Structure 1
Amino acid sequence: MTDELLAISPIDGRYSDIVDELRRYFSEYALMMYRLRIELEYLKLLTNVLRPIQEDKISIITDKIFKEFSIDEARRIKQIEKETRHDVEALVRYVKERLSEYGLSDQANLVHLGLTSEDVSNLAYSLILKDFNAEVLLPLIKEFVTELAKVAMNEKNTIMLGRTHGLPALPTTLGKELIVHVYRIMKQYEFLETYLFPGKISGAVGTYAALMEVFGKDTINILEKFIRKLGLEPWIATKQVLPHDVISRYLHSLSLLAGCLIDLCRDLWLLTMMGYVLIKRVGVGSSTMPQKVNPIEIENAEGNLEYSSNLLNFLSNRLLVSRLQRDLSDSTLKRNYGVAMAHLIIGIKNLRSFLMRIEFNRELMKRDLEEHPEILSEAIQIRMRLLGKNLVNELRRLEPLSPDKYLEDVKGIIESTGINPDEIIPKTYHEYIGAASLIVESIYRLCMNKFSRNEKAIS
């Protein structure tokens, strides 16, 4: 029996292969590594300020310690933590051990000087989210939305029956309906790609007292520069904990992204139910019904995206509150960032997988349109009103018992006004799709110009 079969969470079990890349951001080992980076970078800062003559030597050694950090080294920290029952203190002792091994016992005295654990942890978590966002999430969104845009462009003239409230409404195109989702996802991408993650170093209650003992009157300026050098935006006024406002906004934006994708899942599911989407057979659809080919990827995607969205919303709202200067409830919650992100990634990847194994039943779409000529009634009543004839009530009274009977009745109503029906009734459904194709072309061009690499921009 493998470890995956013993996993409690499906993230580390059934879906582990899908999200394996997230281990370098959200595992216990990853958190240790990011915290270690902060401690070592801060030690360089201290050396630069307090003992500049030793700066080059410390820099070489700290870089070496970071590069040598492995799972075995992380196990050493866990071993120390059994004694300290404090994860950051265990890391601090580990760093001091490593410095002593290199003959730097005196410099080890500077490790964590003036800091509280939260100074290290908030920076580590912000860097984790920043790197995950840039290295995993944004590239995945880019790949998916580009593929979806290409499908939409290919189907820009594929006429289909548009439905409101589930009932026949007006002609539209498959491409236009898909490009709506492309545009929504692009908007979320644009928000995420420029997001600035926050960071703070302000001490145990946010007064900088211990830090001012170390750095003097220029403390805040020195620490702001340090935080910016890490690629984070300094947050000056804090409790012991960094206010979660900016991270909460990020998590809310991911929940919005998940919501956009859930909407796409449900539209594709309904199009599959109506027979407009055809799924290529892979594996077994049912243990008892041989004919079944099910939309399992989008159903799986929908479930994972809903779970992710709910967890993201919970975390973003709950973490806005910390009692007085701090309480520890946030610590256990932040360890679940990775759970929310993993389910989001699973959802996107399954949705992408579904998109790659479907085709469209254009003949069925065409037949459905021909069964519902009443969807042209809007065009008819507008054209008649422009000629000074209001036939809205007459058209409302018609019942589309059959396509031929409906068109015959419409022609009779128009003829009764002395107007030729052939000049009023659209000759094809394509005649009444408005700017659908232009919308697809416009958004597709935006998408390709933004995301295409090694290709000339589309003008």
Structure 2
Amino acid sequence: MTRVSLAAAEPAIALGALDGRYRSAVAPLVDHLSEAALNRNRIHVEVEWFIHLCESQVLPGLPQLDAEQVQGLRGIVAGFGPEQIAELGAIEAETVHDVKAVEYFIARRLEPLGLGELKPLVHFACTSEDINNLAYAVGIRDAVEQVWLPAARQMLAGLGELAESAAEVAMLSRTHGQPATPTTLGKEITVFVHRLNRQLRRVESQEFLGKINGATGTYAAHLAAAPEVDWPGIARKFVEKLGLTFNPLTTQIESHDFQAELYADVARFNRILHGLCVDVWSYISIGFFKQIPVAGATGSSTMPHKVNPIRFENAEANLEISNALLDALGATLVESRWQRDLTDSSGQRNIGTALGHSVLALSNVTKGLKQLDVAQEVIAADLDANWEVLGEAIQTVMRAEAIAGVEGMDNPYERLKELTRGRRVDAQKLKEFVSGLGLSAEAAERLKNLTPAGYTGLAATLATQHLP
């Protein structure tokens, strides 16, 4: 049954950037993690519990609902839009309790369905947290699966395309900021693709847990009303019908451990992506990437020559904000005083904001990658100016020659250190050095033909082999 979209409603004046300047990038999350979406999911849980109790015939006198009644009940959820949001808000203003307001909201709609006598069945044997934990789990699951994961996959697809196109672009490495053994640009990008995909798989395999076992997790009210019923079995079946994993042992609250696990994985993904943004920004700053200007866009308010790497800078900031919230949520949600306190209630209202900043960052990286062009001539010139990086290859070949019994291969590392440390060495000097070593003919020829651009090992192969 198609539901009314909640994303179209915009606040008149937004307090936060996600509901203002960046609304378009994060709007899909509104249908899953906004206050209105939480209330719709509460209604969804209450309605499905009502249907489940009737289908399971847990109490004497419960009718078997006909198809029209079931459709009408589920239509309460599907038709939840602006008018219903306002009505529910008015009820809550009287009850001063959000979940009780949901109960009354549903009860008002039973009479036209011929179910007026079953108003006591709404919220039957439930504590508020029975409804809330399931509503949050459904919303978080749908937000991750329908919004965050698609955004992450889209970004990774663009990153993979960049890695593949640059797989054979030889590039000077820099370890500790200093010239080092060459690699290829594509291989370095593929490292990030590989790392991010690994975290993505962890998020994809996340369990979303739920419970519906009463005020302190004991089914006490359930048994008082119907002692002969297998309430744990009824509860398990219901939670699984919602597409969640059943948590069989809790206090009043579902322990939120799954949320902490999820937020840790998303935060780790964010941190790896942050590292990519820093590296790309740095490559842009030394000219390895050209930025393709956007028609009509202003790069700098005063310096017309500039095209600033704003997409990656914006992403860095939003990843940092996202992680601050995700880390805080993961830390606070796993604790609750005795059987219940309300710290989680306030905390969970920030889940949408935490994921929203991550989604905004993903959007910026995706757009930023599309505006990059590999400056192969700059990369090649940088590499050609650092022939001393072949010192590693020469001293390693000398070691192999020594093991093979070739005379005069003593102290290979020290000899290359003396030649290359603290000074630039060009092709001619290296070839002269190699010629005077007394290497075997085959080894000497191999080293004389070696260039920095040719000293990339298996980088290009590794790049293509490890792309998804």
Deviations 1:192-228 (A, max 9, x none): 2222200001111111101223453411011101111
Query: Is residue 355 from structure 1 mapped to residue 369 from structure 2 by the alignment?
Result: yes
CA separation of 1:371 and 1:5: change in aligned 2, threshold 3 A: farther
Aligned residue number for residue 4 of structure 2: none
Instruction: Say yes or no: does 1:187 pair with 2:198.
Output: yes
Q: Could you say which residue in structure 1 is the equivalent of 2:70?
A: 59
Aligned residue among 88, 91, 116 for 1:105: 116
Partner amino acid for 2:260? S
Query: 1:5 & 1:120 partners in 2: Cα distance?
Result: 30
Give the equivalent residue in structure 1 for 2:324: 310
Paired with 2:226 and 2:202, the residues of 1 have a C-alpha distance of 37
Deviations 1:141-177 (A, max 9, x none): 2222122111111111101111101110111001001
1:144 counterpart = 2:155? yes
Kept in 1, the 8 Å contact 2:31–2:37? The answer is yes
Quote the residue 2:272 is aligned against: 260
Task: State the identity %.
Answer: 35
Separation in 1 of the partners of 2:446 and 2:53? 83
Q: Which residue of 1 aligns with 2:412?
A: 391
- Alignment of 1:240 with 2:247, yes or no, is no
Could you tell me which residue of structure 2 aligns to residue 117 of structure 1?
128
Q: Alignment partner for residue 220 of structure 1, among 203, 207, 232?
A: 232
Change (3 A) 1:152 1:137: same
Q: Identify if the C-alpha distance between structure 1 residues 229 and 215 changes in structure 2 by more than 3 Å, giving closer, same or farther.
A: farther
TM-score by length of 2: 0.91
Unpaired segments ≥5 residues, structure 1: 448-459
Q: Deviations over 1:387-429 (max 9, x none)?
A: 002410111122464443x751673366144656444345223
- Distance in 1 (alpha carbons) for counterparts of 2:357 and 2:428: 51
Aligned length: 443
The answer to whether the aligner puts 1:130 opposite 2:141 as a matched pair is: yes
Matches within 5 A, 1:377-456: 377-388=391-402, 389=409, 390-398=411-419, 399=421, 401-404=423-426, 407-408=428-429, 411-412=432-433, 415-417=436-438, 421-444=444-467, 447=468
Query: How far, CA to CA, are the matches of 1:343 and 1:319 in structure 2?
Result: 20
Q: Per-residue deviation at 1:95?
A: 0.7
Counterpart contact for 1:374–1:400, Cα < 8 Å: no
Q: Which moved more, 1:422-431 or 1:101-110?
A: 422-431
Aligned partner of 1:96 in structure 2 is 107
SS in 2 for 1:54: coil
Partner-residue secondary structure (3-state), 2:270: helix
Asked if 1:73 corresponds to 2:96, the answer is: no
Matched letter for residue 263 of structure 1: G
Shift of 1:306: 1.1
Alignment partner, residue 273 of structure 1: 285
Among candidates 193, 205, 212, match of residue 201 of structure 1: 212
Residue pairs, 1:294-309, within 5 angstroms: 294-309=308-323
Q: Is the aligned partner of 1:365 residue 2:346?
A: no
SS of residue matched to 1:424: helix
Equivalent residue letter for 1:348: L
TM, length-normalised to structure 1: 0.92
Q: Deviations over 1:1-54 (max 9, x none)?
A: x97683110000110111111110111111111000000000012222234533
